[in-house]
Amino acid sequence: MISGKNYIGNNLSGLNSKTYTTFNPQLNQANKEQFYEATPKEINEAVLLATVAFESYKKIAGSKKAEFLNSIADEILALGDLLIETYCKESGLPEARANGERARTIGQLRSFANLVEEGSWVEATIDTAQALREPAPKPDLRKMMLPLGPVVVFGASNFPLAYSTAGGDTAAALAAGCPVIVKSHPMHAGTGELVASAIIKAAEKTGMPNGVFSNLNSSGIDVGVQLVQHPQVKAVGFTGSITGGRALFDEAVKRDEPIPVFAEMGSINPVVILPRALEVDSEKWAKTYAGSITLGAGQFCTNPGLLLGIKSAMLSSFIQRLSQEIVKIDPTCMLHPNIYESYKKNKQTSFSQSGVEVVADYSPTVNNNYAKQAVVSVDGATFLKNTTLHHEVFGPYSLVVQCDHAKELELIIATLEGQLTGTILTDTIEAKDYTDVISALSNRVGRIIFNGVPTGVEVCPSMQHGGPYPASTDSRFTAVGVHSIKRWIRPFSFQDWPNELLPQELQNENPLQISRLVNGNHTRNKI
């Protein structure tokens, strides 16, 4: 059952007279549940509960946190069909996608559970005392990672489960030992409440402190801004637009005590198509990219929005093939009429730019909110001088830039904003002739792909999801994979601390048998 209320810790609360609804883009009509905007009082209460909860939660053993995270996963599964139905009616995404994303969300929660259960993630580092060292004795120093404090998470419109309420940011922060306050995404407030109820159930079942999790509703920006401004909030996670992420970043850095914001924002994910790829595999790549560009109505942060090649008959023929392939694909529904309208508007803006040739534009009539895919083409000089063309068109759209030569290609890459990913289509031999292009691309991205597509973000420790600004606000962290826990922790040193008073992770006996760096050597041994 969806109440429309906020979770202030374990309690439902709906003090506001102001409410809003979600929207079913497939039916093109509002859903019936009313959601209560969180009030300043509710916001403050959620943060204060989180602050108090932090004092006990930060000390809870890894095995207990693992229990909590696994229990969240179990409770999400226990929501059953209601969750899937709510997801679909609030996002317009198909059931298969809902199931896939739920599986990913569960997988993320369990991978963080494994991480904290094993325990070595705290990066325990020990340098033992040397009483006789000259000119001065060396103290005993022991360092480990501690949680930052209450974290605010803003969910993504395009991932109602995996990057929202119990998504990657929340799972990482809870694993770190940080209480989480979610600012629920208004487009899927019902999905958010259901998942929040699962988290609260899990918290109660596993004995977590009240306030370890709260879920606040809001259709606008005020609630989010108030959360980021709250002195007791210590870090922020965000997935969404550049405008939204930057606005929160700006709020966070002007506080008396600035706090870290990790915002994963827009990206056009440049794909460099080198001659050899077109010589050998033009047809394959045309089909593959038609699929990648239209995947999920182009609503992935890793959508390939920019294809870069060097002018040739082969490139022309590739563009033609891509155009033919892409219009064969049936359009699908976008997440919300607002997103659909933005897509239409941004696509038209791109079409109307001087020098832009529209090479594919799906024309048959489709349902409301179904995105018609498009591909446009420009030459390198035009792209270089018109930065409007550098902006993301969120949807099933891609721009092909036909460069005069490799130097222009390199220059274009160097002038791009930061990106989540870059891709090269080539072969091993040709790649060696394009080291400068590859080097330039690697400066602009967080992940580089060889002969593939950028869509599809594997959840594993070697994944980097984040990149130079504005792909993310801090390229030194990832939003995906267990290393994303590093966003919410800080190193902390104990000097000459008595063994029995140390956290278990740092005690001589190494009772948790974690891997530690002891006097320069990685070991699981006792001291």
Cβ closest to a second copy, residue 367 vs residue 513: 513
Looking at the Cβ atoms of 284 and 432, the one nearer to a second copy is 432
Between 127 and 283, name the residue whose CB sits nearer to a second copy: 127
Which amino acid is it at 182? V
The interface with a second copy within residues 198-217 (CB under 8 A) comprises none
Contact pick of 25, 149, 237, 331 for a second copy (by CB under 8 A):
149
- Give me the least distance between CB of 133 and a second copy, in Å please: 10
Q: Does 461 bind a second copy (CB under 8 A)?
A: yes
Residue 264 bears catalytic tag: yes
Stretch that binds a second copy, among 27-35, 204-212, 399-407, 464-472 (CB under 8 A): 464-472
How far is residue 283's CA from residue 441's CA, in Å, rounded to a whole number? 25
| Binds a second copy (CB under 8 A): choice among 456, 509, 511, 513 | 456
CA 88, 91, 94, 100 dihedral sign is negative
From candidates 10, 324, 353, 515, binder to a second copy by CB under 8 A = 515
Dihedral sign computed on CA atoms, order 447, 112, 215, 98: positive
User: In the bound complex, what is the minimum distance in angstroms from residue 398's beta carbon to a second copy?
Assistant: 19
Residue that is written with structure tokens 């995105």 in the block: 371
* Contacts (Cβ under 8 Å, ≥6 apart) of 33: 2, 4, 21, 22, 189, 190
Closest CA to 195 of 213, 222, 208, 177: 213
Amino acid sitting at position 175: A
Q: Which two tokens stand for residue 328?
A: 């064969």
Q: Compute how many other C-beta atoms are within 10 angstroms of the C-beta atom of residue 107.
A: 14
**CA–CA dist 47, 270 (Å, integer):** 40
From 84, 122, 126, 319, residue interacting with a second copy (rule: CB under 8 A): 126
Binding a second copy (rule: CB under 8 A), the pick from 74, 85, 127, 281 is 127
Segment 257 to 316, residues that bind a second copy, using CB under 8 A: 257-260
Q: Within 13 Å, how many C-alpha atoms sit on residue 467's CB side?
A: 27
Q: Are strands 23-24 and 29-30 parallel, antiparallel or unpaired?
A: antiparallel
Nearer to a second copy, 256 or 363 (CB): 256
| Gap between the Cα atoms of 391 and 402, Å rounded | 17
Task: Give min distance, CB of 305 to a second copy, in A.
Answer: 18
Q: Is 132 in the site for a second copy (CB under 8 A)?
A: no
Of 194, 283, 152, the residue nearest 3 (C-alpha): 194
| 117 neighbors 128 (Cβ within 8 angstroms) | no
Specify whether the CB–CB gap between 488 and 173 falls below 8 A. Answer: yes
11-13 and 6-8 strand pairing: antiparallel
| Binders of a second copy in range 236-255 (CB under 8 A) | 249-250, 253-254
The single residue among 181, 393, 400, 449 that binds a second copy, judged by CB under 8 A, is 449
Catalytic residue among 264, 325, 392, 417: 264
CB of 220 vs a second copy, minimal distance in Å: 24
Q: Which of residues 420-439 bind a second copy (CB under 8 A)?
A: 428, 431-432, 439
Q: Which of residues 22-81 bind a second copy (CB under 8 A)?
A: 55, 59
The residues in 388-417 that bind a second copy, with binding defined as CB under 8 A, are: 417
**Is 94 near a second copy (CB under 8 A)?**
no
Query: Catalytic amino acids?
Result: 264, 301
